Amino acid sequence: MTGDPILRPRRRFHVSATEPDTHYHKIVDQTSGQTRELAYKKTQGPQKYGLVYVPGFMAHKAGGKALDIHTYAQDKGFSYVRYDPSGLGESRGVKPMHSDFSLWVEDASQILQHVTEGPQIIVASSMGCWVTCLLASQFPDKIAGVVFLAPALNFHTRYEATLLSQLPPQARQSYEEGGTVKLFVPDVGDIPLTRAMIRALGKYALPLDEEDAVPLDCPVRIIYGMNDDRVPHTEPLSLLKCLRSRDVHLTYLKDAGHTLMEPHSLAVIRNTILTLNKHILG
């Protein structure tokens, strides 16, 4: 895989004529002094609470759900921010093979702090749900509500097992020695991974077996597809248990997969955003 930006919209979606320009938020590493720039798109709206989309593993602002929510946000008057994590899409300064989970957590933190105004409803997909849980204690006043889509948490052991099962002996040896190998992920394609990248995820593992361990106190809505072939169907229940919030609803969709890209799934996502917003407003 080359270091070119990864941009793979999964299918065609209607985006209105008011598609915003791409802007960049600069981040300076306090240790190395190196800079990177996060590409993001932002629209304004009159609703009290804005929307922020936190993408999943190797996903970006041009993904199907991000675009569908963009159109919906414009229609319903929400301000909306979607962005490319470091190493992906149009973001600059980091190649995909040099990106890692710690950067993606910082990316979401920076977007929430410096690109949005006021409290936000976070819509997080897959790994983005893990990232959002890690931000919960940092920004209690910035997070008004959360919609978790197919939450993928603590998946490092699953991903490594899948990767090792795909690798021929020579590539497996390269991986064990610190080399870069490729893991095929449906709907994304081949992604570059290193052993250090996967093992680093372990530092951020959530205590899913501990009640009230994630200090998220706002209303939370979780949507999960029963045909999800990447996340066990029990994991949303574990997430529900470890969230400190008492206002948590879990919705299982019988005929939906991990991406939640089916038309009926997108409709449920849109309706959930709208009803959650009304609930928060009181």
CA distance 129 to 18: 28
pLDDT score of 16 = 52
Residue range(s) occupied by CATH 3.40.50.1820 in the chain:
23-154+209-281
Q: Output the pTM of the full model.
A: 0.89
d(Cα 38, Cα 23) in Å, to the nearest integer? 8
Q: What's residue 96's pLDDT? A: 74
CATH superfamily label, 23-154+209-281: Alpha/Beta hydrolase fold, catalytic domain (3.40.50.1820)
Residue listed under structure tokens 């209607």: 14
Name the strand (E) or helix (H) holding 51: strand 50-54
Cα(224)–Cα(162) distance, integer angstroms: 22
Ranges in the chain, pLDDT < 50: 1-15
Task: Please tell me the distance from the alpha carbon of residue 225 to that of residue 231, in angstroms, as a whole number.
Answer: 9
Output the pLDDT for position 8: 38
Report how far residue 71's alpha carbon sits from residue 18's, in angstroms, rounded to the nearest whole number: 10
Average pLDDT, the chain: 90
Token output for 184: 């095929």
* pLDDT (tens digit per residue) in 69-126: 999 999 999 999 999 999 999 999 998 767 889 999 999 999 999 999 999 999 999 9
198: region left, alpha or beta (phi > 0 left; psi from -120 to 50 alpha): alpha
Specify the pLDDT at position 194: 85
Determine the Cα–Cα distance for residues 42 and 40; give it in Å rounded to an integer: 7
